[in-house]
A and B are shown apart, each in its own frame.
Chain A
Amino acid sequence: MNVLFDNLPALLIAVPLFCAFLLPIIGRFLPQIRDAWIICASFAASLIAVITAFTVYTKGTIVYAFGAAAGSPAAPIDSGGIPFRIIFTIDGFGAFMLLSAAIVSFAVVLYLVSSQKERSGKSEFYALYLLLTAGIFGMVSTGDMFNFFVFLEINSLAGAALVSYHRRGGIAAEGALKYLIVNTVGGLMVLFSIGLLYAQYNSLNMAVIASQMTLSTLNIIALVLFITALAMKAGSVPFHFATPDAYSVAPSGITAVMIVASQAGLYGLFRILFTLYGDTFNTVTLGWIIIVLGVLSMVIGVTMAIPQKDVKRLLAYHAVSQTGYMLLGVGVALAVLGDPVAMASYGQTAMEGGLFHIINHAMYKGLLFLAVGAVIYRTGVWSLNKMGGLGHNMKWTMIFFLIGALAIAGIPPFNGFASKLMIYESVFAFNPALSIIAMVVSILTLASFMKVFHSMFMGPQLPEYAEVKEVPKLMIAGMVILTIFVIGFGLFPDLVVNNLVAPAGDALINKGAYITAVLGGGL
């Protein structure tokens, strides 16, 4: 057993990859156990991620060197203190993202097994799904810049392939192509910046680069490229055009995971801003850049969402808008990073609010996409104008959608309220105008979702939907898992913030701890 526990970070990637590549073989020879296999594989991967996260929360940062005996330091003794091995560094922030990815990916698998039952090409579909999971897990746990790029590309490729999986008369391919082009350009920008950093520091290890980071022209160019590329991946303004195109055509369950996949881009952005660059820069300017990106994402996202007729496209624009909240919260923390007084009075809360919103958004937006997917699964209609009166036949789906809608609008006692309140309070102390914009956006979100809820579920039963039934139990099970977290995080926000979010925030703010964990105080 100890061997397994010592090698958790390696299993995190190995299990989903191994199960993914076995899937086509199983699908070929034993198609009857395929569904059980994918559920077990996803459960195993999620379980490993949760155990890893738990270990990090209880015992501190895990530094895992591939190819070295368990427990040996990242830098071999005869290497002169330079960690040349490929390492995984999972600190509080990484563990936090792992947790969110693990919960969503398992809930979605339950949903997909049921909703994809009648479709063809399932083996490859699930194989790509596990690859996407591996890509997300890898991005949030690696301690090596180039590894980060590789996992980013796995994430983008598997994501694009899944988006286009059911082609729907070519539009799915169109959305996937846009998504892939944007992400490939972003990925190559990341690689170019990695080259710039490698040229100066002769290392790909994040901790080594972070410990030697200076304010040079090349580093500024690299930072600009990193911010651009990872904002593209996260789908914030001004790169928001590809996100709705891809989200609106992807199979519904997949869209829920794509949210987590794009948040892995957000993880990279924050990791680079705080850990890699951190206090070497004038963080006030940098913080304001992130804040402006966040505010623009919030406002443009919600205003674009309101007139949409396609319900999934509408949700996708709201995803852009919600990403803005995370950028706003973390941007405020970045802006006051150099000011200990402001940091203690509101910067810390802003950071925790922004990070808390990441996991909340993954839960309630995942739930919304699954609920909308359930409606589309039964009716085959995307347009809001054609829907109506579905609440009579799909009571459970209606309840789940309502919970998700209230959570995204920031109504207590759901989780969206908890994180938004933290963001409002702390941002108000920083700059009241920003906080007011955030509240207005929240009101617009509520208005938009009331419209959607009304036109989908309310009103008299329409004759064409008289035969519509509730979705199968497994799809409901997937939604129930996410609902538990939406309500649980909303009822006990203190518990979650103190135990899960605060360590993540501290890990970002305290750049030195990350470096010490890897280099052990040397160098």
Chain B
Amino acid sequence: MIANLPFIAVALLIGIALATILLKKNMIKMVMGLAMLEGAVNLFLVTLGYRENGIAPIFTNAPEGADMVLPTVQALTLTNIVIGVATTALMLVLVMVIYKKYGTVDADKMRRLKE
């Protein structure tokens, strides 16, 4: 049960994040939802690599027969964090430009493209 807690957290986070992206009208909040979604996926990846009582996966001076956590998923997570920073930054810049030109961050009020 305890071992499954992170997965439940992942499911909850994904649910909340998707709800934020789909239901919120404020674009800043939508970007926050996306950042949350990214956090949820990161948590999922790290949890996949977790081993109970595992040690850091460094072979130098490692004790005999000790379990190690999986390093690959951690590398994936690190890469995804970097990508996430770039994405979030670009999205916030775009929201900023929209706010400057339209004077609003409400997704419903930005309809100029449809006309």
A residues apposed to B, CB below 8 Å: 146, 150, 153, 157, 160-161, 164, 167, 169-171, 173-177, 180-181, 184-185, 188, 191-192, 194-195, 198-199, 204, 245, 248-249
Contacts and interface: CB of A to CB of B under 8 A. Distances in A.
A177 B110 CA distance: 12
B69 interface: no
Contacts of B98: 170, 173-174, 177
Contact of A192 (B21, B34, B44): B44
B13 to A, nearest CB: 12
B113 A175 contact: yes
B112 A170 contact: yes
Nearest to A244: B113
A245 B113 contact: yes
A249 B48 CA distance: 41
B113 A173 contact: no
Contact of B90 (A161, A171, A198, A249): A161
Nearest to B27: A177
A184 B17 CA distance: 13
Interface of B is mostly: helix
Contacts of B41: 188, 191-192, 195
B97 to A, nearest CB: 4
Contact of B79 (A150, A161, A184, A245): A150
Interface in B49-99: 72-73, 76, 79-80, 83, 86-87, 90-91, 94-95, 97-98
A413 B97 CA distance: 46
Given A173-B97, A177-B94, A181-B21, A157 B87 contact: yes
Given A157-B87, A204-B72, A167 B44 contact: no
Contact of B76 (A146, A160, A173, A176): A146
Contacts of B37: 185, 188
Contacts of A161: 90
Nearest to A175: B113
Question: Looking at B34, B41, B100, B113, which has the most chain A CB atoms within 10 Å of its CB?
Answer: B113
Contacts of B30: 181
B45 to A, nearest CB: 5
A180 B113 contact: no
A169 B90 contact: no
A506 B110 CA distance: 47
A173 B40 CA distance: 27
Interface residues of B, number: 30
A180 B30 CA distance: 12
B112 A176 contact: no
Nearest to A179: B94
A184 B34 CA distance: 8
Contact of B100 (A157, A170, A174, A248): A170
Nearest to B38: A188
A195 B45 contact: yes
A185 B21 contact: yes
30 contacts: A146-B76, A150-B83, A153-B83, A153-B86, A157-B86, A164-B94, A167-B101, A170-B98, A171-B113, A173-B94, A173-B97, A173-B98, A174-B112, A176-B94, A177-B91, A177-B94, A180-B90, A181-B21, A181-B91, A188-B34, A188-B38, A191-B45, A194-B76, A195-B45, A195-B73, A198-B72, A204-B72, A245-B113, A248-B113, A249-B113
Given A157-B86, A164-B94, A195-B45, 11 more contacts: A161-B90, A170-B112, A173-B98, A176-B94, A177-B27, A180-B94, A181-B91, A184-B38, A192-B41, A192-B44, A194-B76
Contacts of B102: 170
Contacts of B73: 195, 198
A188 to B, nearest CB: 5
A192 B102 CA distance: 35
A171 B73 CA distance: 39
Nearest to B86: A157
Contacts of B113: 171, 174-175, 245, 248-249
4 closest Cβ contacts across the A-B interface? A170-B101, A173-B97, A177-B94, A173-B94
Given A157-B86, A195-B48, A171 B112 contact: yes
A160 B90 contact: yes
Interface string B7-21: 000000000000001
A150 B45 CA distance: 15
Contacts of B48: 195, 198-199
Contacts of A198: 48, 72-73
